[in-house]
Amino acid sequence: MKAYTILLLLFLFSLPVFPGNKAEAVTTDPMVGAWMKYRKGDFAGAAEEYSRILKKKPGLVEALNNRGLCRAASGNYRGAVADYNRVLEIDPGMASAYNNRGLARAKAGRFREAMIDYSAALRIDPLMPELYNNLGMAKKALGDFHGALDDFNSAIAIRPLYPEALFNRGLLRQQLSDHKAAAKDFQRVIEYMPGYAEPYYQRGISRAMTGDNRGALSDFSRALSINPKYIEALSARGLARIRNRNYSEAIEDLNTVIGMQPGNAELYYRRALARTRMNDYAGAEEDCSQALKRKKGYSEVYFLRGIVRGELGNREGMLADLKLAAASGYEPARKLLKKERGR
C-alpha cells in the first residue's frame, strides 16, 4: 500500500513474548516499560531498555525476542536476526522466534529464508493462522500466487474472521483477476473493520473491474469520507465519475489530484477524457499535450488528442497524432487512420 492509505493492518505479524508466571513477573517491570516504548514507536529507546535488561540476564529469551522486534522495526534486520538466532539456541522449540526471524528476513528481501522459518514454526504450531498469513506473503513476493492463495485459505480456515488474511487474499485475487471473489473478501473486512478506508478503496477497484461503476463510485466516496487525503481514492473516483457520466464532478476530483501530483500523466489523460465528453476540446487538447510531456509514447493520449484535434478542425494535427498512436501498435488508431485516409 502507498503512504496515503490509512489501514493499519499488520500484513506480517511479529509476536512479542512476555514471561508467563508470577515469579518471573516480579522481574519484568522493565520489560513492560520497554514494550510500552515499542508500542509508542520509540524503537531505539525500547531496544536500549531491552539491552539493559540483557546485561543483567543475557539468556532472557523474552528480552532477546522483543529486542529483535525493535531492531527490525528500526530497519536493523541483521541485528534482529542475531537476536532471534540467540533465542533459538536457547529455546529451539519457540515458534514465535522462527516467525519473527522470518519477518526480519522477509523485510530484508530474503523471502526464501523467511519461508524456511515460517515452515519451521508451523511444524511446532500448525494452528497459528499468522504463520500461514506470513508464509503466503512470502510466496506472493516470490511470484507463487497459487501457493500464497493456499496459505491465505489455510489462515482463514483456522480463523474465519481474520481481516488481515482476508485483505491479503483479496489483493491476491485482484492480481489473479478474480475480482468478484476479491470484492467478497474486502466486504468481509469491511464488516469486521468498517472504519478503515483501504478495504472500501480496494473493493471499489474490484467493482470497477467487473463493470459495477456505481458500486465503485460509492466505495471510493466512502473511502474519502474516512480519509479525505486518500489520493488514490480521489483519482479513482475521478475515473469512476467519468464512467458514470458525472463529468464536471470528475474534473473537480482530478483538478485536486493534479494539484498534488502534477507529474502524473495518467491524471491529465483522465481529465482530457472528461473534457472531451463535455465538448471542451481546447481544454482536452491541452491536457493531452501535458500528459505527453510527462510520458513519451503514450499511445492512448496520441489517439485522444488526434480525435480532439479533428474536432477542432486541425486535420493535419489529427493525422499526425493518429500515425504516432498507430506506430506504437494501438489498434483503434490504426483503424481510424485507415478510415481517414480513405476519405
Question: What interhelical angle do 315-327 and 331-341 show, nearest 10?
Answer: 140
CB 142 within 8 A of CB 173: no
pLDDT in tens, 14-71: 666 654 443 344 344 788 889 899 999 999 999 999 999 999 999 999 999 999 999 9
85-98: burial string, b at 16+ Cβ within 10 Å, e else: ebbbeeeeebbbbb
**In this predicted structure, what is the pLDDT of residue 113?**
98
Assess contact for 251 and 220: CB atoms under 8 A.
Answer: no
On whether the CB atoms of residues 74 and 107 are closer than 8 A, the answer is no
The cell 477524457 sits on which residue?
273
The closest of 190, 180, 275, 197 to 236, measured between CA atoms, is 197
Q: Tens of pLDDT along 128-159? A: 999 999 999 999 999 999 999 999 999 999 99
Q: Is the pLDDT of residue 201 over 70?
A: yes
For the full predicted model, state whether its pTM sits above 0.75.
Answer: yes
**How far is residue 11's CA from residue 135's CA, in Å, rounded to a whole number?**
11
How crowded is the C-beta side of 21, counted as CA atoms within 13 Å? Answer: 1
Using one digit for the tens of pLDDT, what is the confidence trace for 229-259?
Answer: 999 999 999 999 999 999 999 999 999 999 9
Q: What is the pLDDT of residue 4?
A: 29
Residue 192 in this model has a pLDDT that exceeds 90: yes
DSSP secondary structure, 238-253, as one string: HHHHHHTT-HHHHHHH
Report percent pLDDT > 90 for the chain.
87
- The reported pLDDT for the residue numbered 26 is 39
Query: What pLDDT sits at residue 30?
Result: 85
Q: What is the pLDDT of residue 10?
A: 35
**Residue 159 and residue 169: Cα distance in Å, rounded?**
14
